[in-house]
Amino acid sequence: MKLWKRAAAAIKDRKSLLAVGFSRRTSHHNLDLEAAIIKATSHDSSSVDYSNAHRVYKWIRSSPHLNLKTLIHTLSSRVSHTRSWIVSLKSLMLLHGVISCKLPSVLGELRRLPFDLSDFSDGHSCLSKTWGFNIFVRAYYAFLHSYASFLSDQFHRRPVNRRSSVNQETERIQKLQSLLELILQIRPIADNMKRTLILEAMDCIVIESINIYGRICSGVIRMLPSSGKADAAATLKIINKATSQGEDLAVYFEFCKGFGVPNARDTPQFVSIPKAEVETIKNMIENVGEEEVVEEEKAMVVLEKPRLETIITEKWEIFEDDECCFHEKVIKEYQKHTLPLIVSYQEPVYIEYMMPDLITF
């Protein structure tokens, strides 16, 4: 029965390739790219076609604007017609790699995924055998859909004044924390899910979880020195959540390690948030109430309100967020350092893991 299913799946892929071969070649229709996408998202759950995945990435890098349209059209059509968890998962992994390259033209256009897998259900096997894979695909889609939107928003974000910059950074960290919550939901939960393709997908997820949590910690550390009394409560809430998520991530790594995910062999040691800074934030919150009481007492003896003046200036201090300015220099640095980097006031800490081939170029 398994042999028959494999043969049927291979025939389907072959028919798709033949259809591409007979298609009309135009300047707006890259048939070679379309064939590489079909091969990279084949029905074979026992292997991942890395060579064709890399071919797709090279085509996207060579002409992002033109080839991205072919990628979106081909993946959208393939996912909607096959209804296979294997093809759907490989399509998500392929898009994950494209999004992770952080090319400006890709982030500018790919605000959302070109297909909807929020209620995905495999159409080739009975539910009792595929329910775990269905949940896995839905969870991966939920994360990647939000991640694409987040990166696109960061790319389109404009520099602002200092006050707004603090608010922007707070909002950015909160969104990263929401993304981490989504990514921790991606896990195999059925007994029949220990497949090569699932392990490869989990490799990608584990590395991305390290990357996102590292950016959360880095953002908190950058935000602490500039946090004022008005931001103290929000900052402390973010810190408490980051601490809790660090514990959740450690549990997640233990689960992945037990499942056999190669990149989860060791739990990474993240740089901790400075305790002295956290205590300062707590003191700010405690002192706010006391200062408000003092201000009220002073207001009772004021006989005349001071004259207020409006000061108009264009000399705002501009902060450039390294997460949102994806110019050529940033892209080269990203490709140079493919390992997750946790930034702190101390020496940088690198997590010594090899990135999965479907995430990097």
158-284: same fold as 22-146?
Answer: no
Which pLDDT does position 200 carry in this prediction? Answer: 95
Give the integer Cα–Cα distance in Å for 123 and 294. 68
CATH of domain 22-146: 1.25.40.90
Give the integer Cα–Cα distance in Å for 30 and 21. 11
Locate 314 and state its tokens.
Answer: 């264009």
The residues near 249 (Cβ < 8 Å, ≥ 6 apart) are 180, 184, 209, 213
Task: Considering only residues 13 and 176, tell me which one the structure prediction assigns the higher pLDDT.
Answer: 176
Task: Please say if the pLDDT value at position 356 is more than 80.
Answer: no
Task: Please say if the pLDDT value at position 167 is more than 80.
Answer: yes
Give the integer Cα–Cα distance in Å for 120 and 83. 8
The residues near 58 (Cβ < 8 Å, ≥ 6 apart) are 361
pTM of the model: 0.77
Give the integer Cα–Cα distance in Å for 317 and 160. 8
Mean pLDDT for 336-361 is: 36
In the three-class reduction of DSSP (H, G, I as helix; E, B as strand; rest coil), residue 29 is classed as strand
Q: Which CATH number fits domain 158-284: 3.50.50.60, 3.40.50.620, 1.10.3720.10, 1.20.58.150?
A: 1.20.58.150
Give the integer Cα–Cα distance in Å for 332 and 327. 9
Length of the chain: 361
Task: Please say if the pLDDT value at position 204 is more than 90.
Answer: yes
Query: Which is nearest to 75 in space by CA: 63, 60, 101?
Result: 60
Which pLDDT does position 183 carry in this prediction? Answer: 97
Domain borders along the chain are: 22-146, 158-284
The residues near 34 (Cβ < 8 Å, ≥ 6 apart) are 20, 23, 70, 74
Least-confidence region, from 82-91, 298-307, 319-328, 336-345: 336-345
Measure the CA angle with vertex 180, ends 178 and 183; round to 5°: 115
In the chain the first and final C-alpha atoms are separated, in Å, by 37
Which pLDDT does position 260 carry in this prediction? Answer: 94
Least-confidence region, from 52-56, 153-157, 221-225: 221-225
C-beta of residue 61 within 8 angstroms of C-beta of residue 103: yes
Task: Please say if the pLDDT value at position 346 is more than 80.
Answer: no
Q: What percent of the chain has pLDDT over 70?
A: 70
Which pLDDT does position 16 carry in this prediction? Answer: 77
Task: Please say if the pLDDT value at position 181 is more than 90.
Answer: yes
Phi and psi at residue 342, to the nearest 5°: -105, 120
Q: pLDDT for 16-39, tens place per residue?
A: 777 777 676 665 678 899 999 999
Give me Rg for the CA atoms of the chain: 24
C-beta of residue 226 within 8 angstroms of C-beta of residue 284: no
C-beta of residue 259 within 8 angstroms of C-beta of residue 206: no
Residue 323 pLDDT level (bands cut at 50, 70, 90): very low
